[in-house]
Amino acid sequence: MGILPTQEALQIAREHDLDLVEIAPTAVPPVCRLLDYGKYKYEQVKKERKAKKGQKIGLLKEVRFRPKIEDHDLQAKIRTVRKLLGEGNKVKVLVRFRGREIIYPEMGWKVLKRVAEALKEEAVASNHPAKDRRTIALTLSISPVKKSTKVEFDAKTQNS
C-alpha cells in the first residue's frame, strides 16, 4: 500500500476489521502489515508444532537386569536392548539389587560385562558404569562405526 501515516494505516485496518502489526521495527520507515493477529498467532503456533513433530528426539530407554539372571533371560533382554538401539534410542542398562544381594556387587558387574561384550559390535558405552545405593547403571548408545556402516548399506541398496 506504500508509505502511510500511522493514523491513516490504523483507519484502514479498522475499516477492514484487521490489525496493524509492526513486522520490522528497525527499518526506516518501520514496516507494518494488515492482518488478523489472532489468526497469525494460531498459524505461528501451528508451524512450531509441525517443526517440533519432525524432530526425532533420541530417547533414553531403560532395561533392568538382576544379578542372578539366567542365561536365557539375559539373552532375551539383550535382544530388547539391540532393538531399542536399532530404533536410535540410548539405552540405560541397570542391574538392580534386592535385599542382601547388595553384598555381592561383583555379580552385578559380571552381568554388565556380559551385556557389554554381547553388544560391543552395535553399541558403545556413553559413560562409565555408575554405582548408586542399590543399582549399577551403564548407558549405551549406537556405535559411530555402526552408524557409518548403516549409511553405506543404505547407499548400496539405493544404487542397485
Are residues 43 and 119 both part of a single domain? no
Say yes or no: 41 and 21 in one domain: yes
In a shared domain, residues 87 and 118? yes
Residues 44, 78 within the same domain: no
Please check the confidence at residue 55 and state whether its pLDDT lies above 80: no
CA distance 53 to 43: 15
pLDDT tens string 116-134: 899 988 888 888 888 888 9
Domain extent at residue 50: 6-54
Distance between CA atoms of residues 156 and 19, nearest Å: 55
Whether 68 and 95 share a structural domain: yes
Name the grid cell of 45: 503456533
| Secondary structure letter of residue 68 according to DSSP | T
86 and 23 inside one domain? no
Average pLDDT value for residue range 3-9: 88
Percent of the chain residues topping a pLDDT of 70: 88
Query: pTM for the complete prediction?
Result: 0.56
pLDDT band at 145 (very low <50, low <70, confident <90, very high): low
CB 105 within 8 A of CB 78: no
Q: What is the mean pLDDT of residues 33-62?
A: 86
- Is the pLDDT confidence value at 50 over 80? yes
Could you tell me if residue 83 is inside a domain?
yes
In angstroms, the CA 80 to CA 91 distance is: 10
Look up the CATH number of the domain holding residue 32: 3.10.20.80
Q: What is the pLDDT of residue 158?
A: 36
pLDDT tens digit string along 66-111? 999 999 999 999 999 999 988 888 999 999 999 999 998 999 999 9
139 and 98 together in one domain: yes
Higher pLDDT, 50 or 57: 50
The grid cell for 103 is: 553384598
